[in-house]
Amino acid sequence: MVVAASGVSARPPTLKLGELTGVWAAVYQQRQRLEAAADRSVITAWQDVARGLDLDDVITTVQQNSGTVGGDPAAAAARRRHLHQVTAAAVLARLTTLTRHRSWPGLIAALAAALRRARATGQRAGHAVVDDDEGALDDGDDQGDDAAQATASAYDVAAAALKALAATIARQLLAAVTAGDAPSALAELVAGAVRAALAWTLVLSTAIGLAFNTGMRAAYTARDVVQFDFVTAGDSSVCTTCADAEDGNPYFASDVPVPPLHPNCRCSTQPAQPGSED
């Protein structure tokens, strides 16, 4: 395989998003709709939970300690890393208190519903791929029957999102303090990061992709598929991680890598195609 310096494979993906037709076009349209709906419901619930969050004391502490990162470059870099870790931990501790908010159960319920819907739709997508029938995606129960597992997964997704958001806020806050931004600007920066919830969007997209692809694999197994292909997907390029996974085709069910293999991964799986074992 030829690999570019950026870690992107030189060959294009097998499924070229934006050029898909037939069943795969329907599969990816469904997945996009799932992600958009989940984003709307979960972010709305998150913004309700986070409304009024006050991180002024964290901002003050960062301002007081930001002057300690000068001096020797190596030592300064180590102090910046330490300050980022401490700040992220302080922000995460404050974010974690939101799990006691009266609206937190609603957020978990929204997450669980999105994950159940993604898995159920993924199962229909798997059957549609086997039958090469995009119409098979239109019927079925979007809620599925794995409520307990979905709720447990929702708590894991929420924990990951809070951790990612804390790291994002810490990074942005330290950069702004170093730049000499005024306290009011720092407070607005933090509030904006909480409202925008980009970390939630990224973590949620990854979780929806995993649930969807897990549903697809379950459908293949139910249809007695024995060997699977990992299928790369993208616009014009594919990362080396996913290209390597595709190069390993075919896989048995217990061994096939289940995408997403990284954030923003759009790859999928399908029953092994003739010749993929060559």
Average pLDDT of 33-50?
Answer: 94
Element of type H or E holding 242: helix 240-247
- Beta bridge partners, 9, equal 3, 238
| pLDDT computed for residue 2 by the predictor | 44
Note the Cα 276 to chain centre separation in Å: 29
Structure tokens at 4: 């570019």
What confidence score (pLDDT) does residue 275 get?
A: 63
Mean pLDDT of 127-132: 95
* pLDDT band at residue 69 under the 50/70/90 scheme: low
Measured CA to CA, the distance from residue 253 to residue 159 in angstroms comes to 29
Helices (H) and strands (E) in the chain, counts: 8, 7
Distance between CA atoms of 83 and 16, rounded to whole angstroms?
A: 42
Name the residue type at position 129. Answer: V
Evaluate if residue 37 carries a pLDDT over 50.
Answer: yes
Per-residue pLDDT band at 157 (split at 50, 70, 90): very high
Enter the tokens of residue 194: 């909480």
Over 60: is that where the pLDDT of 25 sits?
Answer: yes
- The closest alpha carbon to 199, from 173, 156, 169, 174, belongs to 169
The residues, ordered by sequence, that sit 6+ positions from 202 with a Cβ below 8 Å of its Cβ are: 164, 263, 264
**Is residue 208's pLDDT more than 90?**
yes
Confidence band for 72, pLDDT divided at 50, 70 and 90: confident
Pairing between strand 227-231 and 251-252? Answer: antiparallel
Q: How far is Cα 23 from Cα 133, in angstroms, rounded to an integer? A: 6
Spatial distance between the Cα atoms of 264 and 248, rounded to a whole number of angstroms: 21
Judge whether 204 and 115 are in contact, CB under 8 Å. Answer: no
What is the reported pTM?
A: 0.88
- Cα 171 to chain centroid distance, Å, stands at 19
- Reported as a pLDDT band with limits 50, 70 and 90, residue 70 is low
Contact 110, 158 (CB under 8 A): no
How high does pLDDT run on average in the chain? 89
